[in-house]
Structure 1
Amino acid sequence: MSKTIAIFGFGPGLGMGVARRFGREGFRVAVIGRKPGKAEQHVVDLKAEGIEAAAFPADVTDAEQLTDAVATIRKTFGDIDVALHGAAGEMTDRIPSTLALDIPDLRVPMALKLHSPVLMTRALAPAMIERGEGALLYSSGSSAHTVQPYLANIGVALAAQRGYLLQLAEELRDTGVYVGLLNIGALIGDSRAEQIIDEHPEVVPAGVSIPRMTNNELGDRYWDMYTQRDRTEVEVGFTD
């Protein structure tokens, strides 16, 4: 029987790369995105590559919408075997100074990178624990590990997410449920961030060089994490 991967915050970069990789392995793909039209287009693109997929539009920062999407996915595909939280903010959401950072500036990044992962975990972990198997995968950036004040509010949110996920991984260690966090220190091919930086290179401070990786390469990294399950955290793009 085919397994199902649900990708929360699906986009043309990371989401599509992961969907392709897992789809090639026979997984059905649940596309969860805020904009119905874009979610449906991603499904069309995946089906054109021979991958079974369906769209479940939802704002992944909204508890009710996320819970409803999970229920609909289960009715459509059955159990969710793997979940990826890939939602991320726009470069335009950044606050480029730690001294300028104020509480309201944390609202969007915290909703996307801490509150939403908590919502996804709460919606999916109990059933996985009961079955004794499953995988919860999450995405992060480089600013939780390397000092980058031009991403001040994003870095704070990613650091909070990292603390939560390390605790979660320890708690689920012997349950059969794998928790994996991919720290991405690269610009993802075909992503919205890549488009913004290519169109507006001034958003990156002078002297800062960001390596690039294709979304398919990142799909391979997540597949390796899922199959090997030997590390909670994996870093890509920082030095390679």
Structure 2
Amino acid sequence: MTKTIAIFGFGPGLGMGTGRRFGREGFRVAVIGRNPDKAKQHVEELAAEGIEAAAFPADLTDEAQLRRVVDDVTSRFGQIDVALHGAAGDMADRIPTTLDVDAAGLRIPLELKLYSPIWMTRALAPAMIERGEGTLLYSSGSSDRHPMPYLSNFGIILGAQRTYLQQLRAELADTGIYIGLLNIGVLISNSKAERIVDEHPELVPPGVEIARMSNDELGEHYWRMYTERADLEVEVGFPD
């Protein structure tokens, strides 16, 4: 039976790299993103490489829309075998210093990197538990463990996401579901973040150098996580 990967927050960076890698292995790809035109473009790019894909527009910070899109994907492709929550915030949404963090500054990372992954999990995990198999993948950055005051609002929420996934992994240990978190310490080629940094280098503090990695390399990391089903966390782009 052909398997399906649903990529929540599909973009030209991480989403395309992962969709291309799984698609080469015969997976159908559900392209889930806020912008319908961009989602359609990504589907066309995958189709040009012989990968079956379909676009499913949705705002992932809206629980009702997220649950609806899960129903739409399963209606089109059947069960979702692998799900990746890869949605990321914009550099422009960061808070300049830790002392500037307030409730309003936490809203975007809270909705995008904690609430939304939890909603995805709750929408998909019950069916996976019933089947006794499934894979739930997530993305994170580096600001939850490496002090980066200019990303402090995201770091706070990424720390909460990490704790949630640690607890989820322990609770689902004997269900056949693999939980995997890729901690990304690089700029992803072709991503929106890379474009923003290149256009507005002032967003990165002086002296801070951010390594870069191709989207295909990151897709390969997720493929190995899926096939090896070993560690909860994998890190890429961090200094030794």
Q: Which residue is 2:5 aligned to? A: 5
The offset of 1:108, in angstroms, is 0.3
| Cα deviation code 1:83-138 (max 9, x no counterpart) | 00000110000001111111110000110000000000000000000000000000
CA distance in 2, matches of 1:61, 1:125: 19
Report the 3-state secondary structure (helix = DSSP H, G, I; strand = E; otherwise coil) of the residue aligned with 1:179.
Answer: strand
Q: Which residue is 2:135 aligned to? A: 135
| Cα deviation code 1:185-239 (max 9, x no counterpart) | 0000100000000111111111111110000000000000000011000000003
Please tell me the residue identity of whatever aligns with 1:216: D
Q: Which residue is 2:109 aligned to? A: 109
The offset of 1:21, in angstroms, is 0.3
Q: Which residue is 2:98 aligned to? A: 98
Report the 3-state secondary structure (helix = DSSP H, G, I; strand = E; otherwise coil) of the residue aligned with 1:221.
Answer: helix
CA distance in 2, matches of 1:103, 1:65: 24
- Structure 1 residue runs of 5 or longer lacking an equivalent are none
Q: Which residue is 1:213 aligned to? A: 213
Root mean square deviation of aligned Cα: 0.7
Report the 3-state secondary structure (helix = DSSP H, G, I; strand = E; otherwise coil) of the residue aligned with 2:100.
Answer: coil
Q: Which residue is 2:164 aligned to? A: 164
CA distance in 1, matches of 2:125, 2:57: 21
The offset of 1:144, in angstroms, is 1.1
| Cα deviation code 1:5-35 (max 9, x no counterpart) | 0000100000000000000000000000011
CA distance in 2, matches of 1:100, 1:37: 36
Q: Which residue is 2:193 aligned to? A: 193
| Cα deviation code 1:53-104 (max 9, x no counterpart) | 0001101111111111111111110000000000011000000111111111
Please tell me the residue identity of whatever aligns with 2:220: D
Q: Which residue is 1:235 aligned to? A: 235
Aligned residues: 240
The offset of 1:152, in angstroms, is 1.1
Q: Which residue is 2:40 aligned to? A: 40
Q: Which residue is 1:49 aligned to? A: 49
Please tell me the residue identity of whatever aligns with 2:210: I
CA distance in 1, matches of 2:178, 2:150: 33
CA distance in 1, matches of 2:118, 2:61: 10
Moved over 2 A (4+): none
Please tell me the residue identity of whatever aligns with 1:133: E
Identity of aligned residues (%): 69
Please tell me the residue identity of whatever aligns with 1:92: A
